[in-house]
Structure 1
Amino acid sequence: PVLLQKNGLEIALTTHGIKDKKTFRENLAKVIERGLSKRDALAALTTTPARLTGAADQIGTVEAGKLANLVVVEGDYFDPKAKIKGVWIEGRWNTLEPENLTWIDKKKEEDQEKDEEKKKEDDTKEDKPDERLARSPIEENTVLEPTAVLVRNATIWTSSKRGVLKKQDLLIADGKIKKIGRNLQQPENAHVIDAEGKHVTAGLIDAHNHSMILGSVNEGTLPSSAMVSIGDVVNSESPETHRQLAGGLTVANLLHGSANPIGGQNAIIKLRLGQGPEAMKFKAAPPGIKFALGENVKQSNWGDDKTTRFPQTRMGVPAFHENRFTAAWQYNRQWRSFREKGGAPPRRDLELETLGQIIQAKRWIHCHSYRQDEILAFIRTMEKFGVRIGTLQHVLEGYKVADEIAAHGAGGSCFADWWAYKYEVIDAIPYAGSLMRERGVVVSFNSDSSDLARRLNLEAAKAVKYGNTRQAEALNFVTINPAKQLRVDHLVGSLEVGKDGDFVIWSKHPLSTATVCLETWIEGKRYFERNEGIARAEARSKEREKLLAKVKSKAKKDKKTDKDKGSEDGRAAFFRHALEMAHGLGVINCQDCKIETE
């Protein structure tokens, strides 16, 4: 309730679903302890449910003319120990005091009082009262939001035509870059950062990320799942958001998996830690969709029982693509005819509607691809329908057909140095990115990994080692180039006046293995600061130790009282990973659940 209320949603509280209704006020007290004000709690029990049920003109407040429905409490209603003396219902008094209720079995009441006294005695034997050890993760998210930010005396990697600027200042106000130069005037109330000896880059951008997604990334039951959207499962509670901010990442292209020739729609996000899924979405970014080629889509190595879905061969993949785009072209024509001539509207088809947007150049394809023959076949198939591909993802043999990729206008979002992990990548080489760049392809290095997304700057550095790409151009592989591929380079990807204030402060040269990310800013707001991150990790470690100690103590007591499997089930439930943390990996427990309690 606290989270819902703080996010601007109306809440109403109910006893529905509670087995023992007597525990309602105890539960309510816990909610208040966790941050819900008594005023809001009272509204959730009175005015809000009255309004939601359309009865606010009769109930919900104590006013002349309304029904005389009242609760009489001996003390504070929100104190579970305060006794409710009775209730007025439409002007009739109903006592709840035991001595005035003739229908109560006195013997039963006496037995109950004895049980309560015994329970109190047992409680006093405890070393200390039960206390709430776990902290709300919301308390950890501290975002600095100054009116202006002035970074002084930094080495600024602009990722633009201005190149690398030494001993320069960067001024950001109202979320936008205002000026870059020497000895800039400090605005009133500006947050000033002395960056002497430090380096500043644009926020890093990952053109292929699966981290902040709730559950599995593949809807692989059909060869085309164009109707599904990653935007519906953005996981704003993923711990990866903070981890990847700690590596300087500010924008991520969340992609569907590569299980089918035509996958689901993407979601481009900014890593606005602490915001909800909708607020994390990069609204200005044009929509995209995942496609795939190769072994995955023809279900190679899926198992003998996974051989019924079309296509089952490489030659079936372009045939399937051509089939669906033909259907989408016809679908678009039907709607165009309806708009021009009227009549009955065509039946809406969410899959064909999405594919039709590609033909209309309103949605960009990001296609998983490995082999040069399949890359060429896919380019030719799309050109039949006048479609320009957004990016070829991984594109491991793209160096063999770099001229054709450049001529088509597709970007190459590559692995930096992945090779030999399965047979269809046998010809992959770490020089691919540098070679394609030399032939005119806009190249980026992506992560496709929650781990690599935390150090994309070091992935970019590999282009220097493999291919002698200039350092500034190598950094572009994770800044302006992926921004171009996602069609957001007018807003992010470089440090230029008028663009979003997304930047990273590094302790040393951004491509050095010795550098660390000190601060990460998005639109003039600081979402990561290294010292705060270290303090946060230490606080979490101490919190974990206290929780484990509490669990061990409770487990010992349970052994004395629980003789059935109930205690084991409770133990497993305690350690089960929440879906927001499991990220579709099938993780339901961890080594902690095996802690010794002897």
Structure 2
Amino acid sequence: MFKISLQINTMRKLLPFCFLILGFYLLKAQETFPVNGSHDKRPKKYAFVNATIVAKAGQRAEKGTLLVNDKLIEAVNGDQKVPPGYITIDLEGKYIYPSLIDAFSTYGVPESKEGRSFGRAPQVLTSTKNGAYGWNEAIRPETRAVDAFTGDTKEAEQLKKIGFGAVQTVLEDGIARGSSALVSLLGAEDNEAVLVADVGAHYSFDKGSAKTSYPSSLMGSIALLRQTYYDAQWYGQQQEEYNMSLEAFNKWQNLPQFFEVNDVLDVLRADKIAKEFSKQYVIKTGGNDYQRIKEIKATGASLIVPLNFPKAYDVDDPYEADKLSLAQLKHWELAPANPSFLEKAAVPFALTASGLDNIRSFWPNLRKAIQFGLSEETALRSLTEIPAQLLGVSDKIGTLEKGKLANFIITSDSLFKEGNIIYENWIQGEKFIANNVSTGDIRGEYATAIEGYGDAKLVIGGKSGKYEAHISTLKDTAQTKVNINVDGDLLTMSFNPKGTKSSFRISAYVTNEKPVQLKGDLSKMDGDVSPWSATYSGAYVAKPKKQVKNKSLDLGKVIYPFTAFGHEESPTATTVLLKNATVWTNESAGILQGADVLLVDGKIKGVGKGLSAAGAKVIDATGKHVTAGIIDEHSHIAISRGINEGTQSVTSEVRIADIINSEDVNIYRQLAGGVTTSHILHGSANAIGGQSQLIKLRWGKAPEELKFGGSDGFIKFALGENVKQSNWGEAAKIRFPQTRMGVEQVYVDAFTRAKEYKVNINKKDGKTRRDLELDALVEILDKKRFITCHSYVQSEINMLMHVADSLGFKINTFTHILEGYKLADRMAARSIAGATFADWWAYKMEVQEAIPYNAYLMEKQGVVTAINSDDAEMARRLNQEAAKVIKYGGLSEEEAWKLVTLNPAKMLHVDNRVGSIKVGKDADVVVWSDNPLSIYAKAEKTFVDGVKYWDGEEDEKVRSSQKKEKARLIAKLIEEKGKGSTTQKAVEKPTIVYHCETLLEENNDDFNHNQ
């Protein structure tokens, strides 16, 4: 028990008694609130003495004194004499720490309502809210958590019991979410609980409860937030419009900026936005940051990291186990090490209880993180100093220093030690009892005497709620188990001494003496009852457990990317000499027999016979064919959460570059098909879709490293039934256009607006609002961005060529274009390229007049022609698709091969770097087992920039190794279940393969394909 004394002689007995009865309740009254009864303004002065005080991480004082005056800390030191007027609380053997701070919580505010999904729901084009708000409901910076805050006594008690004293409470709704509040868990009136009304500005990629259809994709969310920043900058310089949302957006820019994401790649995406607008977000992550730790470190961002580690999977059924991917299994194992990875990388982070299914999992999970390598010092800082710093309230909370709020916890032992008990959590000088101090104080050895048994030693061990005890006489050390039950200060015990027929029952209580005593009554079998006592004689020393190697720490390695076929170390470029191959140059030299190709520093250094190079890795390619890597002009792989922003007719502001997914296994699979470069396009739901991104298939690299640096920008346009949404049902009868005539008008209107915008923006007078949608169209007018247009029907293709001619822009490529044979001469006259399918036809109304001779006929009319995939599976066989054009039309082998190499390189304006085997070009090279146009040909090795990212022989080793890794992890899961750990059902993580017509995000329950 804590020992309490008063340093005022005249009131030594009376005042403590009064305090215990009246103090806490009466002193909760606030300054501006009326009191029903007599005012009680007694000073609340406490001296906590003889404690081990950890004022902050790394600062520890033995036998220290903490002085509290009302709500504030008066002093913290090691030898402070207690001034008169202070209630003294003796904490000998106890510890004092700062109360914890949760930097991300939804405490006291309503949960976000489920947002509308895109799918077949009726379209909502602008805000449905009444008032002078912005046009999009997902942008709601005018909301304030403090306006919605109402303290929740039950939730507050749960948080206080585990040590929290203050939390940042956030409204998790929308993309721009408004301001958060810093609130105390004091349990007083709401306005007293609010410490800082507006402590941070918050953002996310989740549109939340917004009814507006836009955005329906991740790239749309990013574009909307970027546009909002530019709109807010313009708004701050004009006097023409009042916008409550933009007004609030600007107001919060001087607050700490917070961004919530749920995936490591989203951390990188959020940071790109921050850099664009000279911000530094504090990013609340999803807990898988270790998967891209180098890139996380490079952001310079501070993180808020959850402790919601995945439960073990139940894999007793081997069929259930097969549902789990390698990534799921490895994340289960490595997630608890995430804080350790961050600490080792010197990434500053706070820890949060947010996301836990049960708040009681907080301490077990935190101790697990420590077991997995997180230091106790960093753990303490991540729950005290760091969140205070991130919130800008280090002057108020986070450490125990003079003048700060009296927020501290009293514990039985070192905070992170197994079995430690949090006794009390003082918040703003008010005591909250988390656990009765007596309960945690009874462990130890006690001297006692029992008539008929003799002088004895009673040992009480275990931990709170699960006590264990045994007793032995001093003459006979044989131990007898004691059944013990503790309820607060009361305890009952019973035991039958070994070797006797006696039975003893004890009812006792814990005294407030030093040393601690247990006093009560002893009952014997014959009904005799006598006084009994036991005196504390020493600490409980647990019997050392047999040291067993902790298998849970035999962790697997992080792989890049974090999915099947990932590797522990990124491959690097080496000097490679391919000898004696059949080399398809795609140049004037044609196909060379018995030739060599030298790859040095990522470039093709030599092509010819008899080449040599010191230190080169020589590969005998006798009987093999060497070609340039395949280039897919029309692909939808390697993107995250939505290929279509199909909510508006013109979405030129969205960018595939923002949503590149480096973890897509299709990158690896297509390398196995000889593909080295892919043009990733927006879908075909809009007349003017999003900006595309050219990538190289550098398997394992982060998203930014996949991008084909220095290449021209492109954008996706579309024609046909997808654009007018004729196949979307009645719910889609709102958005313009609804006819093919309307599609034409969209183009005319968009480029007319772009021309006017260009004139105004070039004035640079600050009066023209920056418009990301029109910026992209101006780039087209300025020949800095180029059009790839989804197309089928001749009449529409003619229409767009006419619009382009009349409005002064150029079409670079018609893709799909299965009726290209009808107007190839007109395309050639305008230098418009055509990317098509080899033999797709009659799969929908628009392609009834498609023919397999299309590519041949366009090529012979002088159109730069390519065969594209538009499909992740087809892209693995583009070599065979090119070969079909030999059958349908009679192209030569060299001409056919250019359809998937040099020609798409020309379309994409990168033929100076890729598409052929030529000295000086990028070393994007494939070694084939046979003629690459043969159905028997396999890509044995695929080099990108001279780095071997695919090797058939090494793939066999990877498969074998990862099969063993999965077996190891499954065995570990079975062992974990055997230990009694809570498990979850093994559920296969759904995946989606995107096509032009795919709607929604892959994480949306009602996503569908409309093909």
Structure with the larger strand share = 2
Task: Tell me how far 1:557 sits from its aligned partner.
Answer: 10
- Amino acid of the structure 2 residue aligned with 1:434: Y
- Amino acid of the structure 2 residue aligned with 1:282: F
- Amino acid of the structure 2 residue aligned with 1:6: K
**Is the 1:433–1:443 contact (alpha carbons within 8 Å) kept by the matching residues of 2?**
yes
**Is the 2:602–2:923 contact (alpha carbons within 8 Å) kept by the matching residues of 1?**
yes
- Amino acid of the structure 2 residue aligned with 1:27: K
- Amino acid of the structure 2 residue aligned with 1:161: S
| Residue 162 (structure 1) aligned with residue 589 (structure 2) | yes
Task: Tell me how far 1:332 sits from its aligned partner.
Answer: 0.6
Task: Tell me how far 1:174 sits from its aligned partner.
Answer: 1.4
Give the aligned partner of residue 26 of structure 1.
367
Among 741, 744, 759, the alignment partner of 1:315 is 741
Give the aligned partner of residue 225 of structure 1.
651
Give the aligned partner of residue 204 of structure 1.
630
Give the aligned partner of residue 442 of structure 2.
106
**Is the 1:149–1:191 contact (alpha carbons within 8 Å) kept by the matching residues of 2?**
yes
CA distance in 1, matches of 2:967, 2:703: 31
Structure with the larger helix share = 1
**Is the 1:481–1:493 contact (alpha carbons within 8 Å) kept by the matching residues of 2?**
yes
**Is the 1:203–1:251 contact (alpha carbons within 8 Å) kept by the matching residues of 2?**
yes
- Amino acid of the structure 2 residue aligned with 1:474: A
Classify the secondary structure of the residue corresponding to 1:7: helix
Question: Residues 130, 375 of structure 1: CA spacing in aligned structure 2 closer, same or farther, 3 A cutoff?
Answer: same
Task: Tell me how far 1:55 sits from its aligned partner.
Answer: 11
Identity %: 41
Give the aligned partner of residue 70 of structure 1.
none
Give the aligned partner of residue 409 of structure 1.
831
Instruction: Structure 1: give runs of 5+ residues left out of the alignment.
Output: 61-73, 86-97, 591-598
- Amino acid of the structure 1 residue aligned with 2:610: N
Give the aligned partner of residue 328 of structure 1.
754
Give the aligned partner of residue 503 of structure 1.
925
- Amino acid of the structure 2 residue aligned with 1:378: L
Classify the secondary structure of the residue corresponding to 1:366: strand
Task: Tell me how far 1:536 sits from its aligned partner.
Answer: 2.3
Report the number of matched residues: 544
Task: Tell me how far 1:144 sits from its aligned partner.
Answer: 3.7
**Is the 1:464–1:470 contact (alpha carbons within 8 Å) kept by the matching residues of 2?**
yes
**Is the 2:583–2:625 contact (alpha carbons within 8 Å) kept by the matching residues of 1?**
yes
CA distance in 2, matches of 1:515, 1:550: 41
**Is the 2:905–2:911 contact (alpha carbons within 8 Å) kept by the matching residues of 1?**
yes
Question: Residues 295, 183 of structure 1: CA spacing in aligned structure 2 closer, same or farther, 3 A cutoff?
Answer: same
Give the aligned partner of residue 571 of structure 1.
985
CA distance in 2, matches of 1:29, 1:578: 34
**Is the 1:4–1:11 contact (alpha carbons within 8 Å) kept by the matching residues of 2?**
no
Question: Residues 44, 532 of structure 1: CA spacing in aligned structure 2 closer, same or farther, 3 A cutoff?
Answer: farther
CA distance in 1, matches of 2:378, 2:853: 61
Give the aligned partner of residue 309 of structure 2.
none
**Is the 2:579–2:597 contact (alpha carbons within 8 Å) kept by the matching residues of 1?**
yes
Among 902, 906, 931, the alignment partner of 1:480 is 902
> Which structure 2 residues correspond to residues 521-560 of structure 1 after superposition, within 5 A?
521-544=943-966
Give the aligned partner of residue 278 of structure 1.
704
Question: Residues 244, 46 of structure 1: CA spacing in aligned structure 2 closer, same or farther, 3 A cutoff?
Answer: farther
Task: Tell me how far 1:402 sits from its aligned partner.
Answer: 0.4
Task: Tell me how far 1:278 sits from its aligned partner.
Answer: 0.8
CA displacement 1:290-345 (0-9 Å, x = unmatched): 10001111112211221111111112111110110000011111122x14xxx343
| Residue 469 (structure 1) aligned with residue 805 (structure 2) | no
CA distance in 1, matches of 2:791, 2:381: 56
CA distance in 1, matches of 2:954, 2:666: 16
- Amino acid of the structure 2 residue aligned with 1:158: T
CA displacement 1:119-141 (0-9 Å, x = unmatched): x9xx99xxx97688976443832
**Is the 1:396–1:414 contact (alpha carbons within 8 Å) kept by the matching residues of 2?**
yes
CA displacement 1:453-487 (0-9 Å, x = unmatched): 11111111111111110001111011110011111
> Which structure 2 residues correspond to residues 289-300 of structure 1 after superposition, within 5 A?
289-300=715-726
Question: Residues 384, 237 of structure 1: CA spacing in aligned structure 2 closer, same or farther, 3 A cutoff?
Answer: same
Task: Tell me how far 1:53 sits from its aligned partner.
Answer: 8.3
| Residue 451 (structure 1) aligned with residue 787 (structure 2) | no
CA distance in 2, matches of 1:246, 1:378: 37
**Is the 1:15–1:24 contact (alpha carbons within 8 Å) kept by the matching residues of 2?**
no
CA distance in 1, matches of 2:945, 2:858: 32
> Which structure 2 residues correspond to residues 43-442 of structure 1 after superposition, within 5 A?
104=440, 106=442, 109=463, 111-114=465-468, 136-138=558-560, 140-141=566-567, 143-188=570-615, 190-336=616-762, 338-339=763-764, 343-442=765-864
CA distance in 2, matches of 1:483, 1:531: 29
Question: Residues 169, 109 of structure 1: CA spacing in aligned structure 2 closer, same or farther, 3 A cutoff?
Answer: closer
Give the aligned partner of residue 935 of structure 2.
513
**Is the 2:644–2:1000 contact (alpha carbons within 8 Å) kept by the matching residues of 1?**
no
Task: Tell me how far 1:545 sits from its aligned partner.
Answer: 5.7
Task: Tell me how far 1:30 sits from its aligned partner.
Answer: 6.1
Task: Tell me how far 1:215 sits from its aligned partner.
Answer: 1.7
CA distance in 1, matches of 2:710, 2:967: 43
Question: Residues 81, 181 of structure 1: CA spacing in aligned structure 2 closer, same or farther, 3 A cutoff?
Answer: farther
Instruction: Structure 2: give runs of 5+ residues left out of the alignment.
Output: 1-288, 298-346, 399-412, 423-434, 444-461, 470-480, 484-541, 1006-1011
**Is the 2:419–2:464 contact (alpha carbons within 8 Å) kept by the matching residues of 1?**
no
CA displacement 1:362-385 (0-9 Å, x = unmatched): 101110000111111111111112
Classify the secondary structure of the residue corresponding to 1:374: helix
Task: Tell me how far 1:22 sits from its aligned partner.
Answer: 2.2
Q: Bigger shift: 539-548 or 391-400?
A: 539-548
Task: Tell me how far 1:143 sits from its aligned partner.
Answer: 4.5
| Residue 5 (structure 1) aligned with residue 346 (structure 2) | no
Question: Residues 548, 23 of structure 1: CA spacing in aligned structure 2 closer, same or farther, 3 A cutoff?
Answer: closer
Question: Residues 185, 110 of structure 1: CA spacing in aligned structure 2 closer, same or farther, 3 A cutoff?
Answer: closer
**Is the 1:145–1:525 contact (alpha carbons within 8 Å) kept by the matching residues of 2?**
yes
Task: Tell me how far 1:264 sits from its aligned partner.
Answer: 0.7
Larger radius of gyration between Structure 1 and Structure 2: 2
CA distance in 2, matches of 1:302, 1:38: 56
TM-score by length of 2: 0.49
**Is the 2:573–2:602 contact (alpha carbons within 8 Å) kept by the matching residues of 1?**
no
CA distance in 2, matches of 1:420, 1:580: 22
Question: Residues 305, 581 of structure 1: CA spacing in aligned structure 2 closer, same or farther, 3 A cutoff?
Answer: closer
- Amino acid of the structure 2 residue aligned with 1:5: I
- Amino acid of the structure 2 residue aligned with 1:178: K
**Is the 2:573–2:945 contact (alpha carbons within 8 Å) kept by the matching residues of 1?**
no
CA distance in 1, matches of 2:607, 2:853: 34
Higher relative contact order (CA 8 A, sep 6+): 1
Question: Residues 25, 589 of structure 1: CA spacing in aligned structure 2 closer, same or farther, 3 A cutoff?
Answer: same
- Amino acid of the structure 2 residue aligned with 1:112: K
Classify the secondary structure of the residue corresponding to 1:315: helix
Task: Tell me how far 1:113 sits from its aligned partner.
Answer: 4.0
Classify the secondary structure of the residue corresponding to 1:391: strand
CA distance in 2, matches of 1:168, 1:42: 64
CA distance in 1, matches of 2:781, 2:964: 55
**Is the 2:579–2:619 contact (alpha carbons within 8 Å) kept by the matching residues of 1?**
yes
Give the aligned partner of residue 89 of structure 1.
none
CA distance in 2, matches of 1:478, 1:266: 19
Task: Tell me how far 1:577 sits from its aligned partner.
Answer: 3.5
CA distance in 1, matches of 2:1001, 2:974: 26
Question: Residues 443, 129 of structure 1: CA spacing in aligned structure 2 closer, same or farther, 3 A cutoff?
Answer: same
CA distance in 1, matches of 2:735, 2:387: 50
